[in-house]
Chains A and B, each alone.
Chain A
Amino acid sequence: AAGVIQSPRHLIKEKRETATLKCYPIPRHDTVYWYQQGPGQDPQFLISFYEKMQSDKGSIPDRFSAQQFSDYHSELNMSSLELGDSALYFCASTHRRADTEAFFGQGTRLTVV
C-alpha cells in the first residue's frame, strides 16, 4: 500500500540558509500535518492543512512557512536556518471525513551546521 512519502530523507544546510521539505500524502488523504522531533524529544506539532487551506498552527517559527498544493502534496519552507532547527521533520496524512489515524512518513533529517 502507498505510504506517506517525504523528500529528501537527509539534508545538510549551513546557518542562515534556506531549506524546502516535501511531503506527498497517501492518495485520497486530504489533510497533512507537519511535526518536528528534536534529538531525544517527542514530536511537536508545527502546522496542518486541510483541502489546501491552513487548518491549524502549532509551534511553527515565523521563519518557517508551509503550503498544500492542488495535488495535496505539501512543502515546508524554512529560512534563516539556525543550529537549533536540526531535527527530524515528519509529515503525516489523514482523511478528515473518515477520521483515520495519522500515517507518518519516514521523515527528513535536517542538520544545520
Chain B
Amino acid sequence: AQSVAQPEDQVNVAEGNPLTVKCTYSVSGNPYLFWYVQYPNRGLQFLLKYITGDNLVKGSYGFEAEFNKSQTSFHLKKPSALVSDSALYFCAVRAMDTGRRALTFGSGTRLQVQP
C-alpha cells in the first residue's frame, strides 16, 4: 500500500518570504512523486515531479521540491512567495515498480500568502 502525509492543513507566509509545504510518503520500491496545485472550483494543475536523477526538482511558477530518500520526504519550496500562490497544494505518489499507476494523494495543504 502507498500513502502520503501532509502534516500541515494550512501554511501562512508573508509575500516575499520563502515557503515550504511538507510531504512525506510511503511506497513499496522506488517512488514517482508529484506536486499538484488546486485553485477554487478548478482542476488539479501539475507543478513538478520526481522520477529519477537530481534530488532537487524545478517546476512551474518558480516552485521546486527536494527528494530525500532517507527521510522519505518531498517538500515543496519557493524562495519568494506571491499572493497569487495562495491555493491548495497536493503531494502525490505512485510506485515506480508495481502495477498500480493511479496516484495516491495527501490530504492537501492550504497555502495562504499575505500581502
On A, residues with C-beta under 8 Å from B are 4, 31, 33, 41-45, 48, 55-56, 58, 90, 92, 94, 96, 99, 101-107, 109
Contacts and interface: CB of A to CB of B under 8 A. Distances in A.
A109 B42 CA distance: 10
Interface string B89-112: 010000000011111111110000
A105 to B, nearest CB: 6
A96 B102 CA distance: 11
B34 interface: yes
Interface residues of B, number: 21
Interface in B35-50: 36, 41-46, 49
A42 B106 contact: yes
B46 A90 contact: no
A43 B42 contact: no
Contacts of A109: 41
A41 B88 CA distance: 11
Given A48-B102, A56-B101, 5 more contacts: A55-B101, A58-B102, A96-B101, A102-B46, A103-B46
Contact of B44 (A45, A94, A104): A104
5 contacts: A41-B107, A44-B105, A45-B104, A94-B101, A106-B42
Contacts, number: 52
A45 B102 contact: yes
Contact of A45 (B34, B42, B103): B103
A41 B108 CA distance: 8
A48 B42 CA distance: 21
Closest 7 CB pairs of A and B: A45-B102, A42-B105, A104-B44, A104-B43, A106-B43, A42-B107, A43-B105
Given A101-B34, A104-B36, A106-B42, A56 B102 contact: yes
